Structure 1
Amino acid sequence: RSEMSKFKSPTGETQLVNARRTEALDAPHIEQLITEETVKLFGQVSVVEIIEKALLAVVLSNQEGEIIAHAAFFDYPNKPNTSRTNYKTDWESWLSASYDVKGCNSLNSFFLHLFVAKEGYEIPAAEEIIRTAFNAVPDLHHIFMVVNSGAYPNAALDQQFSKCELRSGGHHPSDCTVFGLPRHAHVPTLHIRPALVEDHDDLTPIFNQQSEILTRTYGEYFLAELIAGQDDSMRCLACEVKGKAVGFMSVTSEINLDLLNQCYELAPFHGLRKPHPDDQAVPPRTPTPADVVEDAAAVDARPTSSQRSGSAAGSEKGAAEGGEAATGPDAVETAEKLSDAVAASAKSSLLNEDDDRRIDEVDEENAENEAAEEAEEEPEEEEDEEGIVMTPIASPKSLSPEVPPNTAAARVARNFQPVYHGESNAVVIQLFAIAEAQDPRSVDFLPHVFRLFPDADFAIITVPTMVPEFSLLQSFVRVTPKPNCTLNQELYVFHRGGLACNLEVRAAKPADRPSVARLVNSLRLKSSLLKDFDLFLNFKRDPVKHGEQIQAFVAQCLGQLVGVGIMRKEADSDAMYMRSHYNIEDFIYYNHHRKDEHARLYHLAVNPIFNHFSKLFIKEIMRLGDKTCLSYPVYPSSAPEELRAKYSQPTALSYFVPVRARRQIQYPLEKLGGNAPSERVLMEQQAFALNHINRKLIYEPKVTVNARIVVVGASSTGISFLETLAFCPHLRFNNLILVSPHGLPGDLEPDEQRECMTASGLIYDSRDYACMSLRTWVSVVYGRMTKIDRKRKVITVNGTARVPYDYLILSTGLQYQPVAPLKKAPSQRQMLSAKRLPPHRPRNMFCINDPFDAAAALHWLDRRLDKQRLEGKLIVYGRSLDAYACVQALLEAGVRPQSIVRVLDPDSPNPFEHDDHVETQVEAALHASGVAAHRGYRLQQWNDEEPEPRQLELLTFVSEDGKREVHLDCCALFAYQRLGVDFDCFTAVNDACLVFDGRLVIDANFHTNDVAIRAAGPVTKFQRAYHADNWSHASFNSKIVGEQLAHALLRLFDPTLDQDTEPPPEPAKLIPQFGHTPKLSGARLPGGYHYLHVTSPTIADYLHPTVGDEGRYLKTCTKEGSYFRLHLNQYDKIDSITCLSREPFPYKNYIQLYGLHQRLLNNLASRFKEKLVPDFFEFFNETWALAFYHDRFHDFRDELRDLLSTRPAPDKLSIEEQIRKLMEDEIGLSTAQRAQVKEEYARSGAKRALGTRFLNYISYNYYHLPMYAKPEMV
């Protein structure tokens, strides 16, 4: 964050100066401020490296953006010879032995490594930077400066620092001098005293500035009455500066602890009560074998998913973060998100149901065994009412591989709720306000709170979810709400032990082993942690993994061990893999960090009471271990258990930043030979989500957002929205909630057959989901939204569970709907409305809308193929791309072609209308395989007009003219006939009076007619006022739509952006632009074809190759059936790509061709015209093209465009400006004008600069592009 301050310039004028964190782009400007005096004082320094590794680097810039001063602070001296051993780790003992300094340590002391300022600004700049440093780091008490002997601080620093007194009898260094600066000289500790009634006039403006609600509610003199009403249970404190009250805090010991324990996970804090002999803090004993047998019978008798599907809702972290704890039938199926898991919690977490078991249960819903099919069934409506079950806080495969989720012991732990009987051990801060200038020192109130209430060990505070986190809360620990909490408050806890200033971090010793074991006793992966701890104590290395270095550290406070951290040196191969596969360089300059400065965190456990010290613990681990970067991987639940078990959940994961994965080039290795990238780049590893922290991020503040953002629908639009929010490095969203029937996509193990059963939008694949690990940051509620209460801001899931929201995002997309017979004559084309569909979908009717549906259908199919019970036809009804993919999946699953029948209704659009060749090839393959097809037929009747069949046995289809009928024995029906809005979603939206006109109506800013509800994706349409009925979000790339939605919402929370307090006015009713990202589709088609289609955003999903369509088509077709078609628009840019081949092809590479000019591709058009390109597959697989497929190539193109837009001199036009000027009155450039521009381009130096930039691009990314020759190689 940045602050604006005023001070006088050398001319005496008052200037506004902005203090902010230093960025790498500031380095050239800072270097210009370095003088000989700077070098004499601090020595020769690398400014980039200083910025890269400083804990805190601050620049001052004026209103014109000119940098006028810079300072960099570290937690160790800048002179290596100031210590006989390691100057980074042992300076504390050296400093205290040589100088008369008290109470300084690495946690509360900084060293100034560099200070520069513009001439004339030195004195005010030094004062402003030092004040900024103390405000930015409340724990900072001392700043030291170590200079060479004979050197002396300049006037600016001399006014701030004083020479440290030598300690008598100590070792006095002869080569340096130490100067010191205490905090109280610039930012003194606040003076806290009991509040007086007389403070009312000073404090009222502060309260009113922040909110006038209290005055309106309790009257103008509520504060005076509150102060006058103090007693033993309620006390008031005031903060005084220069005789004026500038802050106020009201504290009371009257707390409803029972409600708090119902709503929040307070087990780590012993329920905020004192210990009592009758406390029940741990689960009861493990059931006996007899109990287990009895329990197993109960499991067998549990309701199936068909009984639960209508009413079981679940949430990964606590479905509704916020309120009264629901019990009994209103409990919600939940799963704790990874980042909220508390390592030292005494309460065992609840375990999620295994994915395979969930698929089995859905299979039971779709088709039970023969005996069950003949048995009578209970009405599902009654079963649904009893189907709500309590489930997990944490994903079983990712967090608890040691405990089988279905054991009786796990179920006992899952249902256990601790009970505490002791007296209250807490006080609550019920009212707090402070002036902005004193806000960074808010923590100074806390010592006085505990003096007023000496029997209390905890101070708590609740804040509304929409209130931004203020400085005081930085010292508190946020408490995770329980699953069914619907309070709109966040609870924060502070323990009096947090006031201790003697936190000590050191390398672990053998004597620490018992204390570490006690600390981690409640961890699920404690055995893994203790194993690594023992390896460190015994060997300092892992003898199994090639002697990999292990480092273990412990944190102590008041003589008690409160934390343990274990890390390993990052192997060179792993470090290069992370650089090449993740955007780690968004956060570090990789080349400025030595290989041995990278480490991987394996374990970090901190007592919850001291959790706010976790960041300092990490800082000390890096300093003592001589590391600058720490990474922590999160593996998906499908990863091997032995791999996931190596890493225990760190309590400080929220301080890390998630790192995006990089798209990789698909290399033609057989062509590259020895010019291929190294094995470290090409090696296949288990996909994981990477979290990162480095030294300069330690004190980089994250803005905490507690607003409850509920996303309904796990469509690619919704996932893209969540991804954008979760990957904001400077924001921490605590309450991101997804409501979806099957949870997050990617939770199932990768399965090629399942993935081939549906067409793909090519937005995300299983590896992308693993590399995102949204389950780390997002809570999931398993179920369907059935109601929206706009007044109370609550949605209902599955008819019973309530999920509150502050902002509701509707991104349900469109789903294939169950089909029903025609109600009237075929010519009238009237179908049953959704409300008149049978209440129970027949068991053997499948609507494949997501991987979970596909898995259940394939599981059903496998069972029948194994038992040879496939009687009748598998009918694929519809003509969508998904329908073709389904036919191919059925064939690959082993179904005989004669058992598959396609029924193509006349209303479905042709997915291959853009290219007749593709349709011809696919239909020929289907005909050759023996798959029957009936074209132009609609479903007219099933099971002899049975109104609500449980099983489809006989289907009758009728032609469009009503003259022909087809009767088919039905084994299963796959419905791809109609895409529509989910009926439950429609009912909820319609009943909430949101405008629905065939689709949910929104404006260009994603707003519905409710300011708190936004929507995006194919479920929406623009208002009729836009006169754009043919355009909708479905016309664009869904990932970009999700990102734009996230950016629109970020304006409400991101302090670096201009925040919208209300919807901005629309100057014109224009549909928004979603960039130039293409729409994508791909599938495995009958005949074994691999299919790819890339097209620009269009009204229709296809391009018509008809007269009037500007541009031209380039096609190649080989004897083997490989077909490749490009469409070049009128500007000779590629705006459509179609690929069809029986051989797999690097589709991710080909997608990157979109938007490129044909001349960039080795003059593609002229080569094609000269018949030099017989096969585009071969042409684009040649090694010269690989640079175009690099993930940073589009950024490089933007860089070159900026180069051509930059003026070479203030009085000279840029190349782009010259072209624009020439084209002002012309349609295009003449031959002479083109020659003129080319001449100017060569003369201006832009051509040489462009070539230099390209060589730099190749050189910097050489680990990906070693097939290109560098200039020195020639």
Structure 2
Amino acid sequence: MHRDSLFDQDMEIHRITSNEIEAAQDLVSTLDESKKMKEALYDCAVNPASTNYGFVAKVMDEIIGAFVVSKDVNLEYYISHFHIQDQILIAEQDRKSHTRMIYSCVNPIFEKSTRYMLKELLRLTQKTCLYFEVNTATIIPTIFHELVHIRSRRFPHFLDRKWDHERFDSEDTKKKKEEDTRNKVDGCNRDPLDEKEAPFALCFSTRRMLSEAKIIKNARIVVVGASDTSISFIEALLSISYLQFTNIVLVAPGGLPHNHFVEKKENLKCYSTSYTTAELKKLMLESRVRVINARMVDIDRSDKNIVLHDDTILPYDTLILGMGIQDKTLNTLGYASRGIASTGDLQRADQILSIDDPHLYQHLRVGGSLINILTDKKRVKNCVIYGRTLHTYCCIQGLLQRGVKPEQIILAIPASECHVEENYDEVEERLKDMPFIYPEAFEDYSIEEKIQSLIESMGVTIIKNTRLIEIIEDPEEGLEAVLFKMLDIPDEEEEEEDLNIEEKSEGQESMGSNAAGTEEKSFSDENKENEAEYIKQKKKRKKNEKEVECRVLISAGHKDVDQDVFSAIHNNGLVYNGRLIVDKNFQTTDPSIFAAGSLCEFSGRYKALAQGKPLRMDRYNGREMGSRLARSVFDIYDTQANQEGEEELPSFYLPVGHGGVLPGDILYYHIKTTNPLLLNPNSEEVENRKSLTCDNLNGQKGHFIKFTFNSIGLIDSVTYMGSEEVVLQSLWSFVGLHENYLNQLTSRFEEGIIPNVVEFLSENWAIALYHEWFGDFCLRMRQSVQRMTDVQAILEKAFEMTKNGEGIAREQIEELKKYVDPKTVRMVQDETLEFIKTNMNHLPMYYIPQKEFE
């Protein structure tokens, strides 16, 4: 502590005067935006009509802080773009009581007095709410940690396009805009109905919040892995307004996922749909927690620390294991990916990569050694992508964006059981896990055919139904070729024949050089030994073996636990039985170690409580698991948390999904439920509804969408593929809805009335379905109508229909509708109008009669 900081009780804060301009400008001269701040302070001091206030904080006649705040804000923009209502009651606040911190600078010696300074600023300006915007280039100031992060809102859309709506502004609204523009109100040029997410993040505080001291938690919380679960866990901890965690560390191999690329089409992998890239950026995790780019290789439970790959020791009080499972194809062949230190007997080569390599984007960066090899026009080389998951197609797109020609890319698709069968003793167990550890690239075979035809037309070579059996390396050049076993060809020895010069030359031309148009290999007199060895190997090749020349190999196969993670778990006595075992509170056998995510599984003793639901966590949504994990950790660090333990196993409701950009800049998303209908656990669900599939995708333009339904009409999954961006949250909102919400879409599509489902779902009638609060509205309505007599009678009839495991057909639902009381219908209509009326700033396309507002 600096001795001058002891004089903070003598601090004085007041409006800046012309005599203090020079001293204040000297204070801010080291800032990146010093020029703009100097100009703003000067304007506040000499211009009485300035739109901002300028303040200085002084101790013993020396300026130790300078601030510029706005006189007013565009509150309507904040309300429509951020969840301000979560923090304050807007109606209870005076319209002129809001201000924005534009610039701030505090001498580091007096940082501990930041909260007092902010309270004084609000008092002197007669404001109650203070906002601070964080743009991409914003340097996080000292005041940041005294503020609360506010989640951004999104406008309801299906396709990412403007509403087809003729906008109407009332006379009052027009007058307000003109007045704000005339007075140059801060943010007056922003349109509250611009239908776009705000390009910045927003932080906030009030006079009351600043008067209530936050509870400081200095406990060392170490989170391993940058998965959805880990990010959601950290987000939940940081969202508690009365707690401040000062020592959260995120160990993220390769860094945070959204920092690897600028545009989606540059991504090399498919991705989870739990978080969008924009959401991750606005969380500002790099500014709120310490992020370490490293891999955990060991845990020391006795000393409470973890060991990183560079032998760094990282101590913890609470350890969160949130990493997922990784691609293991290379390990089955005795190799480790380039960015993973070789462990045990595993070999490593610079040109051999796994799709889950933490440094994949660094290795395949534009201008890097591997991309230079693949884009060298003088010596064209090939890249083999091996796998059958969605990653493979996204990787092709990523390579094309990096300048690799399609003729140099070879996609090798193995059989589904390749490299997996040795990990399972029972076939039934393997079949149960396959959709999660080695999922098909596409849930619809027609999509797979369409995409494969597209990439073949581009020039990409596809080898189907094969198995990688050998990686061939050159001692000097590294990776030289790979050897595949063609599973469609019987396993027979090739007859040995004397190879003449022509046959030899023909044999040297591999599949890879055919695909890329590379020059044939020629042997000089100096390497006759290599020629003889090559001929000898060719004689030994079987008919069902194919050698493919390549200089880069990327695998994207089945997933399992990372070897270092497994060793750390096993060597420290944590229970592992195919997955890391945790209790209902996500706690391992060590009370200071928690875990969640695809690496984990609930203990078998909860099987009865699970009621048929799987215990493995890779079946559930990672973001939802992270928030539930945070509840368990709250009990340790939050004295105000509910200490009553839940006896039941946590239930998960959010759907899961994945997506990516396919070759041709085609977007693909698949969202499905995690709670399939179980009317009768002992029998399979009855299929009484056809899926709805609408394919208007022609080449690289158009849309494809598919809905699947369960036996009572709820949407089980939705798949979208097209050239036009769709709003992910809107796809999510479909899963779990009843088909009747879709405005008779199924019957009208079958009759040919609706030729393009995607365009139909983008029309104005459907916009309310995509509103972020529509799900909460539906839940409230269900709870309300369930208490009504007529609805209870209908539910009893529905139960009778389904008690034997049978579903409810569409015709039966139409019959049940006849029993609904008109009063119930009127109540639902009134509540729907009230919902629209309350959210007119996001739903202006709906017409509400004027008398409804009176």
Q: For the superposition of Structure 1 and Structure 2, which TM-score range results when normalised by the shorter chain?
A: 0.7 to 0.9
Offset, 1:1216: 5.7
1:127 alignment counterpart:
none
Distance 1:910 1:1014, change over 3 A: closer
Distance 1:1192 1:1066, change over 3 A: closer
Over residues 559-585 of structure 1, what are the superposed CA-to-partner deviations in whole Å (9 max), with x where a residue is unaligned? 55443321124553xx43322221112
2:89 alignment counterpart:
589
| CA contact 2:668–2:721 (8 Å) conserved in 1 | yes
Distance 1:1272 1:851, change over 3 A: farther
Aligned to 1:619, which of 119, 124, 129? 119
Aligned to 1:1157, which of 738, 742, 746? 738
2:840 alignment counterpart:
1262
Residues in 1 aligned to 2:168 and 2:781: alpha-carbon distance in whole angstroms: 27
**Matching of residue 1096 in structure 1 with residue 673 in structure 2:** yes
Over residues 397-456 of structure 1, what are the superposed CA-to-partner deviations in whole Å (9 max), with x where a residue is unaligned? xxxxxxxxxxxxxxxxxxxxxxxxxxxxxxxxxxxxxxxxxxxxxxxxxxxxxxxxxxxx
| CA contact 2:388–2:441 (8 Å) conserved in 1 | no
1:497 alignment counterpart:
7
> Aligned AA for 2:731?
Y
1:507 alignment counterpart:
15
| CA contact 2:603–2:615 (8 Å) conserved in 1 | no
- How do 1:1128-1143 residues align onto structure 2 when only pairs under 5 Å count? 1128-1143=709-724
Offset, 1:1188: 0.7
- How do 1:360-379 residues align onto structure 2 when only pairs under 5 Å count? none
**Matching of residue 792 in structure 1 with residue 300 in structure 2:** no
- 5+ unaligned residues in a row in structure 2: which ranges? 170-189, 336-340, 419-437, 493-543, 678-683
Distance 1:513 1:891, change over 3 A: closer
**Matching of residue 878 in structure 1 with residue 387 in structure 2:** yes
**Matching of residue 552 in structure 1 with residue 54 in structure 2:** yes
Offset, 1:742: 2.4
- How do 1:459-470 residues align onto structure 2 when only pairs under 5 Å count? none
Q: Secondary structure at the match of 1:1051?
A: helix
Q: Secondary structure at the match of 1:1009?
A: coil
Over residues 1092-1146 of structure 1, what are the superposed CA-to-partner deviations in whole Å (9 max), with x where a residue is unaligned? 211111699xxxxx99446431222237364321112122111111222344444
| CA contact 1:943–1:949 (8 Å) conserved in 2 | no
1:565 alignment counterpart:
67
Work out which structure has the larger RCO, using CA pairs closer than 8 Å and 6 or more positions apart in sequence. Answer: 2
Q: Secondary structure at the match of 2:272?
A: coil
Residues in 1 aligned to 2:465 and 2:694: alpha-carbon distance in whole angstroms: 32
Over residues 919-947 of structure 1, what are the superposed CA-to-partner deviations in whole Å (9 max), with x where a residue is unaligned? 22122223333322222322222336x6x
Residues in 2 aligned to 1:887 and 1:1161: alpha-carbon distance in whole angstroms: 36
Distance 1:694 1:1065, change over 3 A: closer
Aligned to 1:740, which of 248, 252, 277? 252
**Matching of residue 578 in structure 1 with residue 87 in structure 2:** no
1:844 alignment counterpart:
351
| CA contact 2:371–2:404 (8 Å) conserved in 1 | no
Distance 1:708 1:1127, change over 3 A: same
2:626 alignment counterpart:
1042
- 5+ unaligned residues in a row in structure 1: which ranges? 1-268, 273-456, 458-494, 542-547, 825-832, 1101-1105, 1207-1212
Aligned to 1:954, which of 439, 457, 481? 481
Residues in 1 aligned to 2:780 and 2:439: alpha-carbon distance in whole angstroms: 41
Offset, 1:551: 0.6
Distance 1:851 1:802, change over 3 A: closer
**Matching of residue 664 in structure 1 with residue 664 in structure 2:** no
- How do 1:23-422 residues align onto structure 2 when only pairs under 5 Å count? 269-270=1-2
Q: Secondary structure at the match of 1:746?
A: helix
Higher Cα Rg: structure 1 or 2? 1
**Matching of residue 696 in structure 1 with residue 208 in structure 2:** yes
| CA contact 2:582–2:589 (8 Å) conserved in 1 | yes
Over residues 990-1025 of structure 1, what are the superposed CA-to-partner deviations in whole Å (9 max), with x where a residue is unaligned? 222222223222233212221111111111223344
| CA contact 1:1083–1:1090 (8 Å) conserved in 2 | yes
2:563 alignment counterpart:
983
Offset, 1:870: 5.4
| CA contact 1:754–1:854 (8 Å) conserved in 2 | no
Over residues 644-670 of structure 1, what are the superposed CA-to-partner deviations in whole Å (9 max), with x where a residue is unaligned? 3xxx64323222111011233236656
Offset, 1:1205: 5.0
Aligned to 1:535, which of 25, 29, 43? 43
Residues in 1 aligned to 2:358 and 2:847: alpha-carbon distance in whole angstroms: 44
**Matching of residue 674 in structure 1 with residue 254 in structure 2:** no
| CA contact 2:274–2:656 (8 Å) conserved in 1 | no
1:1190 alignment counterpart:
771
1:917 alignment counterpart:
446
Offset, 1:910: 5.5
**Matching of residue 765 in structure 1 with residue 765 in structure 2:** no
Residues in 2 aligned to 1:940 and 1:528: alpha-carbon distance in whole angstroms: 63
**Matching of residue 716 in structure 1 with residue 228 in structure 2:** yes
1:442 alignment counterpart:
none
| CA contact 1:786–1:798 (8 Å) conserved in 2 | yes
Residues in 2 aligned to 1:1235 and 1:610: alpha-carbon distance in whole angstroms: 68
Offset, 1:797: 1.6
Distance 1:539 1:1055, change over 3 A: same
Over residues 860-886 of structure 1, what are the superposed CA-to-partner deviations in whole Å (9 max), with x where a residue is unaligned? 355346642553321011111101211
More deviation, 740-749/1185-1194: 740-749
Q: Secondary structure at the match of 1:936?
A: strand
Distance 1:570 1:965, change over 3 A: farther
Alignment TM-score, normalising by the size of structure 2? 0.78
| CA contact 1:842–1:950 (8 Å) conserved in 2 | no
Residues in 2 aligned to 1:761 and 1:1232: alpha-carbon distance in whole angstroms: 37
| CA contact 1:787–1:799 (8 Å) conserved in 2 | no
1:819 alignment counterpart:
330
Residues in 1 aligned to 2:666 and 2:197: alpha-carbon distance in whole angstroms: 28
Q: Secondary structure at the match of 1:1097?
A: coil
Distance 1:937 1:590, change over 3 A: same
> Aligned AA for 2:598?
P
Offset, 1:1214: 6.4
> Aligned AA for 1:704?
I
Offset, 1:971: 2.0
Aligned to 1:653, which of 144, 151, 156? 144
Q: Secondary structure at the match of 2:259?
A: coil
Residues in 2 aligned to 1:874 and 1:559: alpha-carbon distance in whole angstroms: 68
Offset, 1:1087: 5.1
Offset, 1:1073: 1.5
Residues in 2 aligned to 1:1112 and 1:1043: alpha-carbon distance in whole angstroms: 35
Over residues 1078-1100 of structure 1, what are the superposed CA-to-partner deviations in whole Å (9 max), with x where a residue is unaligned? 11111222455322211111699
Over residues 868-921 of structure 1, what are the superposed CA-to-partner deviations in whole Å (9 max), with x where a residue is unaligned? 255332101111110121123333444333221111222364515632221221
CA RMSD of aligned residues (A): 3.6
Distance 1:981 1:743, change over 3 A: same
Alignment TM-score, normalising by the size of structure 1? 0.53
More deviation, 711-720/780-789: 780-789
Q: Secondary structure at the match of 2:202?
A: strand
Residues in 2 aligned to 1:1144 and 1:1233: alpha-carbon distance in whole angstroms: 39
2:850 alignment counterpart:
1272
Distance 1:1093 1:937, change over 3 A: same
Offset, 1:530: 3.1
**Alignment coverage as a number of residue pairs:** 731
Over residues 1055-1080 of structure 1, what are the superposed CA-to-partner deviations in whole Å (9 max), with x where a residue is unaligned? 332237xxx5856xx5x3212x1111
1:1238 alignment counterpart:
820
Residues in 1 aligned to 2:621 and 2:705: alpha-carbon distance in whole angstroms: 22
> Aligned AA for 2:355?
I
Over residues 490-524 of structure 1, what are the superposed CA-to-partner deviations in whole Å (9 max), with x where a residue is unaligned? xxxxx5435x3x64432111222354356556656
| CA contact 2:162–2:195 (8 Å) conserved in 1 | no
> Aligned AA for 1:666?
H
**Matching of residue 854 in structure 1 with residue 375 in structure 2:** no
Residues in 2 aligned to 1:1026 and 1:667: alpha-carbon distance in whole angstroms: 40
